[in-house]
Amino acid sequence: MDYGFLKIQQQGAITILMISAPKSLNALNSTILKELEHFVAHIDSSTRVLIITGDGEKSFVAGADISEMVNLNEQQGCDFGKLGARVFRAIETLPIPVIAAVNGFALGGGCELAMACDIRIASVKAKFGQPEVGLGIIPGFSGTYRLPKLIGQGYAKEMIYTGKVIRSDEALRIGLVNAIYPPEELMPKAIEMAQAMLAKAPVAIGLAKQSIGEGYDLDADEAIGLENLLFGKCFATHDQKEGMTAFLEKRDADFRGE
């Protein structure tokens, strides 16, 4: 499929996905969301790490497209929210690591997209916020669900209730991002992180992601039981045998993803 608003670059087993609608600061409309949905459903099978970023120096994703939302009725608003939530959930549950390289504004839907990724790193120029209440709406792409989980209810309620926009250093302080870098270092650092992941066992990373994602909302005994099950599955893989043998033989492991 030819995408009108997505730019895709392959660097070996790393895929870089750039959302490109610079005239609207990469704001998400239904067309872009459907393109994202198609991309995630058909991601290249060789991809072991996905990096998501925005086109241009100003914006990662500035939010959802207000011009598309302004005249929606109640059912249409609900359907638009379901579309965004469904796409972001598909990104969140990909069996590979997903890194958000936040290069500029990550507001509303942009903040929610970043939160659907496993790890967020940001430019020092990046800004984050859930300013929806200033538009008479609430976060609609799972922001009220993910933001409290990442930064705690107190900070999340303050951000959502006031609609305030925070700088990257504040996002780092409250745990919304893992690291901040000068703009010119952001993508090299994202690729460096991705390459560190490529050196590890891909099946194990996928199972670890599953254990974290599914276990988070379980009670302690259920979450630990899930981890035990997935831990056991590792021992049915080539990569476990190779990884442990390589360690004992003091050599680099040759992981196959199987």
Helix or strand holding residue 50 (H, E): strand 49-54
Strands 165-167 and 127-129: antiparallel
How many CA atoms within 13 Å lie on the side-chain side of 253? 19
Q: Which two tokens stand for residue 170?
A: 């504040």
| Cα 222 to chain centroid, rounded | 25
Q: Does residue 132 carry a catalytic annotation?
A: yes
Measuring CA to CA, which residue among 97, 87, 101 is closest to residue 41?
87
Q: Which residue do the tokens 């952001």 mark?
A: 186
Measuring CA to CA, which residue among 113, 32, 35, 104 is closest to residue 68?
32
Looking at 57, 68, 74, 112, which residue is catalytic?
Answer: 112
User: Strand, coil or helix: what is 173?
Assistant: helix
Looking at 92, 132, 184, 192, which residue is catalytic?
Answer: 132
Distance CA 64, CA 81 (A): 10
Distance CA 143, CA 81 (A): 11
Q: Does residue 74 carry a catalytic annotation?
A: no
Q: Which two tokens stand for residue 253?
A: 């492991």
User: Which residues are part of the catalytic machinery?
Assistant: 112, 132
